[in-house]
Structure 1
């Protein structure tokens, strides 16, 4: 008996992920609730983290790299006095300290963690080591040595501080680990630290406040979920929009360079529409766009 492939559904669903649920579990439930043929997400959230998890459905999966590269904002609390095996409250305490930082000391340390920095991911993370996930190796008892990776931190600000904790907000680029910031900030301040709670408040153009609650994702609420879907181009707000001519539309949908109207730098990545319908992402070549990803929409 042939396996049912699911429905062709295209667009973005923004979920306000609760703590205690994995990102892949959210994707799976969305796909099940909508009976969708294809789904993925743009940026993993730790199981204990909450906030924006952007789910791409159907042809929207072709725009995932654009959103993955976008800036993201995190509000988080760092507890001082202990470092853990996971760099958050779910791990075992591996080191402790009686030292506590002053508010002034915290503020003075933050500039070192902004701009272009090098960051070592947590040992328990999704980073691949010789083809295996670091968290799988850690569970098997292996000592994982991860290389430092470049990260752009647009801003890191102190929101509030007590003797034993600090609330911070970070805006960063692709591949940022808040748990690493907490760990390294604690080491810098000589008091050790780990993340107590973490919330992604926005990711690119998507905000947690606009997300659907995870407990509303059910087949019984399928109409409500579909009403919350955003069009493919919702993830493309950072790219210039070009408008295809009638002939250009035909050529682009066949994977060929097509004539467009609009303004962009030569060679710049853009997206192309025709009568409000997204056609492709591609490179502006002066009057034409060479498509790199074409959207096969009904």
Structure 2
């Protein structure tokens, strides 16, 4: 009798991949799940993202691989743009459609009243983060406490709403475009709007359309990537400096490069602030230029390749 043979699944080979993929995340999937799916498609050894989207939300999720992960934090500070749908008259415990309905109220809201209330939410304001969030209290995410029925006080944080445009309003629903600062919770905004109108509200849909200068029009889906060969996918792997488009450029001489990449400051011209630093077309990293004209390395990439 021949010995039983089992098929051996080849072990995944990871490789060094440096770059950024602009992903159009589907609704219903976690940010980490789609990150791992795309990571496998590119066989990338190191991966990260520039801030999560709730599973219910869809839209732009920049994914970073290799050296690009060093700049993910810079995009976390960028303004975000969303398109969202609210349902008035229904309050849920999570502030969105995935939660349990805790209250129903009558709705008698006119478009003019809604527009007036929306105008009050422009600009800087204090916002209380929702219990169903990843913020931590004593090392535990707030959403874990919320699922246990535990509500704890949260400190209000200052956020800025740059734009709050009414796109549509009908049948107790409205669609909004929101451009806001980092740390803004759209679910909290929906709840605050509902309370201001006296009828309550929750999110029924949320789509992120932009992160800083990057837009969802540039993005690709996981399914689209999966249909391509590994070589064809490379067109969607952008250079790491895609994350740094909003920063000015500082070009160094050959001698300056030698000092800069070893962590030493160099002289440079320009206004004080952050710069993306290059040798020719090669990105070296980020530098901080002070008022005296000294450029100090802030974050360097591996230039050994």
TM-score normalised per structure 2: 0.91
Against the structure 1 CA distance between its residues 5 and 119, is the aligned structure 2 distance closer, same or farther, given a 3 Å change threshold?
Answer: farther
Contact 1:252 1:280 in 2 (8 A): no
Q: What residue is the counterpart of 2:5 in the other structure?
A: none
Contact 2:107-2:172 at 8 Å conserved across structures: no
Report the Cα distance in structure 2 between the residues aligned to 1:98 and 1:106, rounded to whole angstroms. Answer: 15
Matched, 1:12 2:20: yes
Alignment of 1:44-123 (within 5 A): 44-123=52-131
Contact 1:33 1:219 survives alignment (8 Å): no
Q: Structure 1, residues 107-155: CA drift from partner, whole Å, max 9, x if none? A: 1111221211111122111111111111122223322432211111111
Matches within 5 A, 1:197-276: 197-218=205-226, 221-260=229-268, 263-266=269-272, 268-276=273-281
Distance 1:74 1:177 in 2: 11
Residue-pair matches, total: 293
Specify whether residues 112 and 5 from structure 1 end up closer, same or farther in structure 2 by C-alpha distance, changes over 3 A only: farther
Question: Structure 2: which 5+ runs fail to align?
Answer: 1-10
Output the CA distance in 1 between the equivalents of 2:120 and 2:68: 37
Contact 1:159 1:169 in 2 (8 A): yes
Larger Rg over CA atoms: 2
1:277 aligns with 2:247: no
- Measured after TM superposition, the shift of residue 216 of structure 1 is 2.9
Matched, 1:174 2:168: no
Q: Which residue of 1 aligns with 2:35?
A: 27
- For the residue of structure 2 that corresponds to 1:212, the secondary structure is coil
The CA RMSD measured in Å over matched residues stands at 1.8
Query: Residue 135 and residue 221 in structure 1: after superposition, are their counterparts in 2 closer, same or farther (change >3 A)?
Result: farther
Deviations 1:250-269 (A, max 9, x none): 11111111344xx5313x11
Q: Distance in 1 between matches of 2:44 and 2:113?
A: 51
Structure 1: how far apart are the matches of 2:158 and 2:24?
Answer: 28
Indicate if the aligned counterparts of 1:59 and 1:232 stay in contact, CA closer than 8 A. Answer: yes
Identify which of 145, 151, 157 aligns with 1:149. 157
Tell me how far apart the structure 2 counterparts of residues 276 and 42 of structure 1 sit (CA, whole Å): 24
**Structure 2 counterpart of 1:39:** 47
Deviation, 1:5, is 8.1
Deviation at 1:235?
1.1
Please give the alpha-carbon distance, in whole angstroms, between the structure 1 residues aligned to 2:204 and 2:89. 12
Moved more, 114-123 or 278-287: 278-287
User: Cα distance, 1:198 vs. partner?
Assistant: 0.7
CA distance in 2, matches of 1:23, 1:142: 26
The question of whether the paired residues in 2 share the 8 Å contact of 1:247 and 1:259 is answered with no
Q: Which moved more, 1:140-149 or 1:225-234?
A: 140-149
Asked if 1:293 corresponds to 2:299, the answer is yes
Do the aligned residues in 2 keep the contact of 1:270 with 1:284 (CA within 8 Å)?
yes
Residues 240 and 264 of structure 1 are in contact (CA less than 8 Å); yes or no, is this contact kept in structure 2? no
